[in-house]
Amino acid sequence: MMNTTLHAFNARAAARGGPDATGSVLAGHDELVRHLGRVFDGLWLAPLAGPVMAGPAGVIAGRQPLPPINVWEDDEAVMVEAELPGFKLSDLEITWEDRLLTIRGRRGDEADTTDGKGRYLRRERMVGEFSRSLRIAEEIDPDQVRATLNDGVLTVRLAKAPSVRPRTIAITTGA
């Protein structure tokens, strides 16, 4: 379901030309958010109707699909996981600002690194730059945002602020 939606979104973004690699990523981002709101009439936001997230959005240069993202939460943290095979730490930039988690990255063309002489017979893998942003409505401790990259899987752990974590209330007997 989400995949179908995502592809539809990308197809539309591509049809519109999409933002170019050197253009303002944020401007394109805002435009796409407005566009999404119109086109899908809130459909995208439907699975995110819970308290945590306001909605995902992103842009990519080169008309390629965005890397997919999964998000879940437990009592202590909101977890954001992205499949980013072939990305190294130096290829990624992760920022947390004003409740907005942004993951940017770039993956090069394999033909560049192979020997320069190969030609593609089939090509499915994403190449180029991407930027995805997630607005997290939950109160997050900004000093406790941690990212790890293992075997092409990026995991960002956003610890919830102590004030919003569930706590057990001790019951005392009244006098």
Q: Which stretch binds other proteins (CB under 8 A): 30-38, 94-102, 108-116, 157-165?
A: 108-116
8 binds other proteins (CB under 8 A): no
Determine, following the binding rule CB under 8 A, whether residue 108 of this chain makes contact with other proteins.
no
Q: Of 26, 41, 42, 70, which lies in the binding site for other proteins, with binding defined by CB under 8 A? A: 70
**In this structure, what token pair is assigned to residue 38?**
């119109």
Helix (H, G, I), strand (E, B) or coil at 8: helix
50 is an interface residue for other proteins by CB under 8 A: yes
Beta carbons of 77 and 159 less than 8 angstroms apart: yes
User: What are the DSSP E strand ranges found in 50-91?
Assistant: 53-60, 69-73, 77-83
Q: How many CA atoms lie within 13 A of 45 on its CB side?
A: 18
Residues pairing with 101 in the sheet: 96, 134
CB closer to other proteins out of 143 and 151: 151
Q: Residue 113 or residue 172: which is nearer to other proteins going by CB? A: 113
First and final CA of the chain: distance in angstroms? 57
Chain residues in the site for other proteins (CB under 8 A): 2-3, 6, 47-48, 50, 52-53, 56, 68-74, 78-79, 81, 83-88, 110-111, 114-115, 117-126, 134, 149, 151-153
